[in-house]
Amino acid sequence: MKKKYLLFDLDGTLTNPQEGITKSLQYALHHVGIEVEDLNTLNRHIGPPLIDGLKEFWNLNEEEIKEATVRYREYFKEKGIFMNLKYEGMDSFLEALVKEGEILILATSKPEKFAREIMEHFHLEGYFTDICGATLDDTRRKKGDIIAYALEKNGISDKEQAVMIGDRYHDIEGAKENGISSIGVLYGFGNKEELTEAGADAIVKDLKELKELLLG
């Protein structure tokens, strides 16, 4: 699947954000009267936009969602943002892509401000032409909208030359909405069944397989 423009998800694709996201959610839910002891039960939130996850999994009303969002970002900004691990071998993988002339663009549902800070913290920003994410006012939060924004911002009109790479069904569905190919990765937080049902054009188990697929 040789493409010129490679759009990458962040959480679960470039880095493992499990600790930071789940602890931020635990803090946020506490402030709307929900106590969560087992942080692993919050892994399902890794991938979807925050507001959508709060609606889907906790049935919160609008005021509770607003409060939980504020509290989540409060904790995440101060503590959770760098409770994050870069996947092993990521630098050499990205370096190989860039050396082959691929154009790398980040397309994440995380607020763009936080995404940029994370990319800089892990020294990943140098591999990427652009960093595209959600807005803090939530006017742009769904993956399909973020992919559309990334394509337009970077002047990508030939959609045959673009592919979205991510670990959750949101990445795959967002790619389909924009008429581009998609690759699901199994080392993140999604599973094969989820990615298959979403209609991923290809599914890989690790960075080695992903590199082989992208570079041929």
Catalytic residues: 9
Q: How many CB atoms lie within 10 A of CB 100?
A: 12
DSSP H helices in the chain: 18-30, 50-58, 62-78, 90-99, 112-121, 143-153, 169-177, 192-198, 207-215
Q: How many CB atoms lie within 10 A of CB 41?
A: 13
- Here the tokens at position 114 are 């936080």
With vertex at residue 103, the alpha carbon angle to CA 97 and CA 106, rounded to the nearest 5 degrees, is 100
